[in-house]
């Protein structure tokens, strides 16, 4: 739909009674208050004064302030990682904000020293491979949401949540 969210994360998702998921933006300011550890103040010329969710953001968003549907694809993969870890840990939990920014710098420099999030326990390899595609340095190499949707639909063929799931 070419809508850029800029703060896609599990904390921005609402789960309905039939397990449908809605992405909201109304909670962004509330999220900064409720989840302060998820946001970091970035300093430097031209930086936005509001805290940013750097652990979910594509490198070009952090370093260049560039937000596109492809940077949201990056954040979607982090959100998928959160879901598959049952949101029991924060992305790059073992790194300080400064180390996360350093890691993002490695991605920018394309020096192959950057880290990606680890595969969640029990995550099918093809789902993790999808996440890694979403974390490609070159945004043109990342899938778009239509491609992600089609891939996940194929993986989900025939699945229907039972009433006891609710």
Q: Where are the beta strands (DSSP E) in 52-117?
A: none
Q: In terms of Cα–Cα distance, which of 94, 82, 93, 98 is closest to 8?
A: 82
Catalytic residue of the set 7, 97, 110, 129: 7
**72 catalytic residue (yes or no):** no
- Give the separation between CA 38 and CA 51, rounded to whole angstroms: 9
Other beta carbons within 10 Å of 10: 19
List the catalytic residues. Answer: 7
């Amino acid at each position: 739909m070419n809508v850029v969210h800029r703060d896609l994360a599990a904390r921005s998702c609402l789960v309905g009674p039939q397990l449908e998921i809605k992405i909201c933006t109304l909670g962004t300011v509330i999220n900064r208050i409720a989840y302060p550890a998820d946001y970091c103040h970035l300093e430097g010329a031209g930086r936005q004064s509001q805290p940013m969710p750097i652990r979910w953001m594509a490198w070009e968003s952090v370093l260049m302030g560039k937000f596109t549907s492809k940077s949201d694809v990056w954040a979607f993969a982090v959100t998928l990682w959160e879901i598959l870890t049952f949101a029991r840990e924060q992305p790059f939990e073992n790194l300080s904000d400064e180390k996360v920014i350093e890691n993002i710098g490695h991605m920018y420099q394309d020096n192959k020293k950057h880290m990606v999030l680890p595969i969640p326990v029990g995550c099918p390899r093809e789902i993790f491979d999808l996440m890694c595609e979403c974390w490609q340095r070159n945004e043109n190499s990342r899938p778009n949401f239509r491609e992600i949707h089609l891939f996940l639909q194929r993986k989900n063929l025939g699945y229907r949540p039972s009433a006891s799931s609710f």
